[in-house]
Structure 1
C-alpha cells in the first residue's frame, strides 16, 4: 500500500486551509528582521485570486530560483540582510512538525506501508524538508511542484506521480491533504484522497484502522 501526505497543514503545523488554524511563520518578521510583513506578502505572494502572477508561484512551479526572486523583492520590503540568512530564517520558522502524524507515519512504515510526500514547494524548502528536517528518514520519496513543473492544483501534478510510480487505477493510493480542492483533484487521478483535520483522520481511515493495536 502507498500512502501520501501533504506538508503544510498535515505534516507541518503552519499554513492551513482553515484560516482559524493557521500559525504564520512570519508573525514576528518585522521585529526579527525589520521587514514590513504586509508589503512582503503583497510583493512576493501576490493578492488572493491572482497568486499565479506572483514571484512565489514562479518558484513553486520551478520557473524561477527562490533566492534570486527574493533578492529582487526583500529590499523593497525593508530588509537589509543577506538572502541566504532570510531563507534559513523562513525554513526554520516554517518547520513546526506535527508529532502525532509523524508517529503514525513511523508506525505505517513498521507495518510495511510505503509512505510518500506530495506537496507544492520550491526547490530550497523541498531540500530542507528532506535533508535538514529528516523527511528522508520517514518517507520513500518526496514529490513536489517545482520538480514536476506544475502547481499542485494542476491535474498534471498527480498524473506525473502516477507515471513515476507506475500507479494504476486499481491501486488507489491513500492521500491526506487539508485542502478540499486538492483532495478532489487527487480523487480524479484515481487516488483514495481524504481531507485532513487531525491525526485521527489517518487512524480511523477504513483502509488503515485495522493496523493500529
Structure 2
C-alpha cells in the first residue's frame, strides 16, 4: 500500500488522556448528589452527546448539568472543572512532532466540545501545530457517522489510502477503513509507533 499523504489524529486517549471521574468528584463537592451519581449521569445522559454535536450551547449545557447535579457554582467555575480532566500523552506528542518534522500534514479529528478544546488549546502548545481541526461540535455530527468522515476528506483534500487515521475506538477506525483509509487502532503509544514504522512514516 502507498504511503499515506496525511495523518489524522483522534484527540482523547490518543494525544491526551482524560478522566471524567475528576469532573464527577469536583461537581459532587459543589452539588447535591454523590460523585458516583454524577458519574452515572455523565455516562448515561444524552446531554454530553447533544453538546458535542453542537445541539446545545455552553450555557445550556451548564444549566442542564447544574440542574441535575445541584452544582452551585457559576459558568466560569463549571468550565474550569469540566475542562481540567486532561493529561498529555508525551510519546504520542513526540510521534506527531516527528511527522511534522518530515513535512507530513496532520489533522485533529475528534468527538469533543467547546470547553475541552478551549482548555487544550490554552494549556498544550502542541495543539496549535496541526494543519486543520475537524471537531464534532462544529459540524453537528459525531464519529462513527459518515458525515464527519466526509468533512475530513473535504478538509484534507485526500481520500482512500491517502489518509492514515489513528483512533482508540474500534468502531471509529472501522468506519475509516470502510472508506478505504489506512487505520491504526491505538492500544498503546508503543504499538502505534510500531505501526507507523511498519508503514514507513517514522524511524
**TM-score, length-scaled by structure 2:** 0.85
Pick closer, same or farther for the CA change 1:131–1:57 going to 2, 3 Å.
Answer: same
CA contact (8 A) 1:175 1:191 kept: yes
Identify unmatched segments of 5+ residues in structure 1: 16-22, 48-53
- Look up the match of 1:66: 58
Matched, 1:186 2:190: no
Matched, 1:46 2:37: no
Pick closer, same or farther for the CA change 1:24–1:138 going to 2, 3 Å.
Answer: farther
Q: Which residue of the other structure, out of 191, 198, 201, is the alignment partner of 2:191? A: 201
- Look up the match of 1:138: 129
How many matched pairs?
196
CA contact (8 A) 2:82 2:116 kept: no
CA contact (8 A) 2:8 2:107 kept: yes
- Look up the match of 2:145: 154
CA contact (8 A) 2:14 2:92 kept: yes
Q: Which residue of the other structure, out of 82, 90, 98, is the alignment partner of 1:90? A: 82
Aligned to 2:183, what secondary structure does the other structure show?
A: strand
CA distance in structure 2 between the partners assigned to 1:96 and 1:170 by the alignment: 31
Which protein, 1 or 2, shows the higher relative CO under an 8 Å CA cutoff with sep ≥ 6?
Answer: 2
CA contact (8 A) 2:28 2:69 kept: no
CA deviation string 1:124-156 (max 9, x = no partner): 322332344234433222211111210112111
CA distance in structure 2 between the partners assigned to 1:30 and 1:70 by the alignment: 11
- Look up the match of 1:14: 18
Aligned to 1:63, what secondary structure does the other structure show?
A: coil
Pick closer, same or farther for the CA change 1:141–1:164 going to 2, 3 Å.
Answer: closer
**TM-score, length-scaled by structure 1:** 0.81
CA contact (8 A) 1:59 1:65 kept: yes
Aligned to 2:21, what secondary structure does the other structure show?
A: coil
CA contact (8 A) 1:155 1:189 kept: no
Q: Pick the structure with more helix per residue.
A: 2
CA distance in structure 2 between the partners assigned to 1:39 and 1:199 by the alignment: 32
CA contact (8 A) 1:45 1:57 kept: no
Shift of 1:44: 4.7
Matched, 1:37 2:35: yes
Shift of 1:182: 0.6
Identify unmatched segments of 5+ residues in structure 2: none
